[in-house]
Amino acid sequence: MENTPKVVMMGLGYIGLPTAALIASKKIQVTGIDISQQVVDTINEGKIHIVEPDLDGLVHYVVKNGFLKASTKAVEADVYLIAVPTPFKESYIPDLSYIESAVRNLIPTLKKGALVILESTSPVGTTHKVRDMILAERPELEGEIYIAYCPERVLPGNVIYELEQNDRAIGGIDEASTEKAVEFYKYFVKGELHKTNSQTAEMCKLVENSSRDVQIAFANELSIICDRANINVWELIRLANKHPRVNILQPGTGVGGHCIAVDPWFIVSEFPEEAKIIRLAREINNYKTEWVIEKVKNAALQYKIDYGRDAIIACMGLAFKPNIDDLRESPALHVAEQLGKEGFTVMNVEPNLKEHPKYRLSSTKEAIERADILVFLVAHQGFKGLNFNGNKQILDFCGVFKE
């Protein structure tokens, strides 16, 4: 299309690929850049390397029609988006090396008037670091390019819808950058575009996920208290939530995924004295997983005392949350692995996965027939309403059989 910007997307992962495909679906020319030749080849065949509803059809369509192509090397563009991972290193220090290498990759292609937008979750101040990196190598671009931060906030499993519909916070390193970035997002976002500065936008992303982490920690703490007090935590939360201003989340096996279990550490590592509740929430949610492991081990040891043989333990659900197949940072997987490592007899059940490279997966039916202790770790829809014969011991850590 005439007058539409040429776009480069750095990073073709869980966020970069759907975003690139959505932009391309608006008949905008997008080149997606990834360090993996295999990822690049897969996308250029119109296929995808990640699991996300509706993404395969969209990528196939935009590649076939020539709006999206992938490459390992950045090309000249009007708008550059960066959506690469920001994991943490030892001691929870954020690792910015992927962002730095993406920026190094695009610097030689930058021209006057270009807009660079960072979408990766980043510690406060990262957008200014990106600017400094660019200007150190291309000082002639001072005042001639636009740089902004705009965090993604899509929910895995519902990415395509949320990419288009969710509001966005957009913060430039100066007002002109903010304006330029807002104009760009108008091409493909229907949600409201809220203007701010880059530091506030960076902190906004970290705070969103920390807020959810703190709320889940509250629910997890309640579940541990209720276990001691012999109170059904699910009933308790349902009743407390009848109050018009109370909205407690659900306890579970712990907090997994690559966002909520990671992002709060970016605040803690930068503000160690001040970020007290944020750190504690992380610790509580991590502890919840260890608590679950101890509970299962105790049940297995008691079984051995009662029946004189080792219990077969079925770990029901391995994904990091219900109804997906994503195992990244999954507390349920950690429980199953730890029990296996400690020599317990474990059956692994994940109905959303066909196979696992390391573990043999059992079906739900097989587990119900063979296991002595059924440990529900993820509240997958398919587990609800299951029936068991009287000899099974059920440990429900995620509210499959709520009340």
Answer for the pair 4, 29: CB distance below 8 angstroms, yes or no.
yes
- Amino acid at position 314, single letter: A
Q: What gap in Å lies between CA 374 and CA 388, rounded to an integer?
A: 10
| Distance in Å, CB of 394 to ligand SAJ, minimum | 19
Binding mask 263-302 for ligand SAJ (x = CB under 6 A): ----------------------------------------
| Distance in Å, CB of 209 to ligand SAJ, minimum | 5
| Distance in Å, CB of 281 to ligand SAJ, minimum | 11
Q: In what order do the strands lie in the sheet with 345-349?
A: 345-349, 312-316, 373-376, 393-396
Q: Tokens in use for 312?
A: 């077969």
| Distance in Å, CB of 262 to ligand SAJ, minimum | 8
Residue tagged active-site, from 204, 259, 315, 398: 259
DSSP state, 154? P
Alpha carbon of 17 to those of 22, 66, 109, 158: distances in Å? 9, 15, 21, 14
Phi/psi at 330 (nearest 5 deg)? -80, 125
Alpha carbon of 286 to those of 93, 220, 403: distances in Å? 17, 10, 25
| Distance in Å, CB of 92 to ligand SAJ, minimum | 16
Among residues 16 and 156, whose Cβ is nearest to ligand SAJ?
156
When asked if residue 216 is in the footprint of ligand SAJ (CB under 6 A), the reply is yes
When asked if residue 11 is in the footprint of ligand SAJ (CB under 6 A), the reply is no
Q: Tokens in use for 6?
A: 């040429």
| Distance in Å, CB of 257 to ligand SAJ, minimum | 3
Applying CB under 6 A, which of residues 75, 93, 155, 394 lies at the interface with ligand SAJ?
A: 155
When asked if residue 335 is in the footprint of ligand SAJ (CB under 6 A), the reply is no
> How would you classify the pairing of strands 168-172 and 146-149?
antiparallel
When asked if residue 209 is in the footprint of ligand SAJ (CB under 6 A), the reply is yes
When asked if residue 154 is in the footprint of ligand SAJ (CB under 6 A), the reply is yes
When asked if residue 250 is in the footprint of ligand SAJ (CB under 6 A), the reply is yes
| Distance in Å, CB of 155 to ligand SAJ, minimum | 5
Phi/psi at 253 (nearest 5 deg)? -80, -10
Size of the site for ligand SAJ (CB under 6 A): 19
Burial class (CB in 10 A: 0-12, 13-18, 19+), 317: buried
Answer for the pair 221, 284: CB distance below 8 angstroms, yes or no.
yes
Residue 205 designated active-site? yes
Kindly give the residue spans of alpha helices, DSSP state H, lying in 186-320. Answer: 198-229, 233-240, 263-270, 276-307
Alpha carbon of 34 to those of 41, 58, 69, 104: distances in Å? 10, 19, 11, 13
CA dihedral 239, 242, 243, 249 (to 10 degrees): 70
Residue 242 designated active-site? no
Kindly identify the residues of this chain, within the stretch 311-330, that bind ligand SAJ according to CB under 6 A. Answer: 320-321
When asked if residue 257 is in the footprint of ligand SAJ (CB under 6 A), the reply is yes
> How would you classify the pairing of strands 312-316 and 345-349?
parallel
Residue tagged active-site, from 180, 204, 205, 321: 205
When asked if residue 236 is in the footprint of ligand SAJ (CB under 6 A), the reply is no
Q: What gap in Å lies between CA 247 and CA 215, rounded to an integer?
A: 9
When asked if residue 207 is in the footprint of ligand SAJ (CB under 6 A), the reply is no
Among residues 77 and 189, whose Cβ is nearest to ligand SAJ?
189
Applying CB under 6 A, which of residues 20, 189, 222, 255 lies at the interface with ligand SAJ?
A: 255
Among residues 282 and 321, whose Cβ is nearest to ligand SAJ?
321
Among the residue ranges 184-192, 247-255, 296-304, 348-356, the one whose residues contact ligand SAJ (CB under 6 A)? 247-255
When asked if residue 153 is in the footprint of ligand SAJ (CB under 6 A), the reply is yes
Q: Which residues bind ligand SAJ (CB under 6 A)?
A: 152-156, 208-209, 212, 216, 249-250, 252, 255-257, 259-260, 320-321
**Positions marked catalytic:** 205, 259
